[in-house]
Chain A
Amino acid sequence: MSDLYKALDFFNVDELYSDEERMIRDTVRSWVSDRFMPVIEEHNRAATFPSHLIPELGEMGVYGASLTGYGCAGLSPIASGLICTELERGDSGLRSFVSVQGSLCMFPIWAYGSEEQKQRYLPKMAQGKLIGCFGLTEADFGSNPGGMLTKAVKDGAHYVLNGSKYWITNGSVADVAVVWAKLEGTIRGFLVDKGTKGFQGKGIKNKFSLRASDTSELVLEDVRIPASQMLPNIEGIKGPLSCLTQARYGIAFGAIGAAQAAFDEACRYSKMRIQFDKPIARFQLVQNKLVWMASEITKAQLMCWKLGKMKEAGTMQHFHVSMAKRNSCWMALECCRLGRDILGANGITDEYQMMRHMCNLESVITYEGTHDIHGLIIGRQLTGEDAIL
């Protein structure tokens, strides 16, 4: 059983990908159609994540897919990006789950962890047997994470953590949290296992957005962890920011998937919906909206393809990622708004996916650097003038 989804590829971007990249994309696309689409609306209504699918994604190998060794798939940047596109075509919450697991939790352990930490966490995380989360943002420190109040204090062979983190995807379900905290004023990463005394995840309720995804507060009250749980090979804000660069790369690809879902649904609807005795696709104003959507999707596909090639070549800079993340999220949100318009009144119910994607994208355009903050990162690069600090 497959749903009716057809991805737009107006410029035959497909031929820019390798055979393996296309096969990986197609495999994940089929999985989303067969396994995820039949259950997403009920989970979105109930505000639950379809956690029964976590092991299947592990068997396929999507967690930390771009990492090498430790049971990870070692895929190309393009392939891992296309996975995000396909997952987010299903729901931004699904892509968020995988991004947090791979880019925000497995990546720092893989890049900055000790060998013992890598052996302990990565193989199980790759299989989805251990779930991770990433604690950087605090309630009062979003765009300015460097101002964080969470602190670590050395106490013999242990560190003691105090503070709280907010807007943490997977926070209540995670088996391990990468918590960033200041140790004598310097930001360091700590691995905090679920069940550690004083450590707690509290779900944030009543969200309009990313309903099929756990978003939590992490509370740390005198949490004692062995000194071996600190990530030894990174210090300073560049640690978490390097993780965010990885995750933002995935979002840049991912949001295209949400836009694709919006275009597909709106285009199909416009051909079926009869008004004034003809399909609304025959009206110029409707066509104009579809053309805008298709053009922006195509531009974003090409931008992300080039971003992937730069990542592969090692020439990708964080400001490249900022532009792609900013552009993809913006255009995807606009696509959903236009698509909802095409769907008319029908577009406001969850019989159609448009508003689910639209509401999700309000988070996606905000988290991992807001639209405006990414604008300032790009602006700084263009002008040499720093408008953030």
Chain B
Amino acid sequence: MDIVVCIKRVPATDTTIKIAADGKSIEPAGVSFELNAYDEFALEQALRIKEQLGSGTVTVVTIGSKDAQKELRDTLARGADKAVLLTTDQWVFDGASTAAALAAWIKSVPCNLVLCGRQAVDSDNNQLPANLAARLGFACVTEVAKLELADGTFTAERDIEGAREVVTCKTPAVISCQKGLNEPRYANLKGIMAAKKKPLEEAAASLPAPALEIVSLTLPPARAAGKILGTGVDAVPALIAALRDEAKVL
């Protein structure tokens, strides 16, 4: 099975974000980046499928600047066979544009299965998997928490409101991966050295004009200081009054 894993380089979850001077983007200086956590589940699942079948390829693809080579090398170190960087200097925030560029590239390579994270933790759009599947004409299963492959059929489990849904599909398919699907492996240190010799190709991303425009970007308002109404049981009436009359949550 030829598997394509779509990844994204995102600001690290513990980094401090500053808004750039244009008021529409983040200031990249001083921000540390990492592989989107959900994409780690996708990569791990791809490697497990390849190991289960004993054959096939795992190709990792991303769109972005050359800085994303670091995250691609990381996936090669963990066991991907090949990485492809679809280069652009634009900040790609529009799920439809991303899906269009990825679909155009995926159509040019052998691919039966696309695995992605359920969402990128920077933009939180949750658009890519479904949009990509539509453009490729592939089956689409999103937010998969358990996945099994037997006799060419995937059985996927999804957590839906108050229940677990089980669906099956055949390839070609796009499957997006939820936390809990697997425990991503650590890169093997020899794998890190070997990653240097694995192919990391670059091609220009064929991005259409974005269908969305970011009008403004602001940080959440600073949280106001708390108010201490008293201590112990004596403070309870004042707390109830404040919750009812000021916060209006009761």
Show the binding face of A for B, using Cβ within 8 Å. Answer: 2, 4, 19-20, 23-24, 27, 30-31, 56, 59-62, 65, 73-75, 79, 83
Contact = CB atoms under 8 A, between A and B. Distances in A.
Contacts of A24: 189, 192
A155 to B, nearest CB: 42
Interface in B36-78: 70, 73-74, 77
A74 B193 contact: yes
Contact of A27 (B70, B187, B196): B187
Main SS at interface, chain B? helix
Main SS at interface, chain A? helix
A23 B188 contact: no
A288 B195 CA distance: 43
A61 B190 contact: yes
User: How many residues of B sit at the interface, in one of the four size bands?
Assistant: 10 to 19
Contacts of A61: 188-190
A59 B186 CA distance: 9
- Enumerate the 5 nearest inter-chain pairs by beta-carbon distance, A residue then B residue, closest first: A61-B189, A73-B189, A73-B190, A27-B187, A23-B192
B196 A60 contact: no
Interface string B176-191: 0000000000111110
A23 B14 CA distance: 19
16 contacts: A2-B14, A19-B70, A19-B196, A20-B192, A20-B193, A23-B73, A23-B77, A24-B192, A27-B77, A27-B189, A27-B192, A31-B186, A60-B188, A61-B189, A73-B190, A75-B189
A62 B70 contact: no
Nearest to A59: B188
B18 to A, nearest CB: 18
Interface in B63-100: 70, 73-74, 77
B15 to A, nearest CB: 11
Contacts of A83: 189
Contacts of A30: 186
Contacts of B188: 59-61
Given A27-B187, A60-B188, A75 B193 contact: yes
A73 B193 contact: yes
A24 B188 CA distance: 9
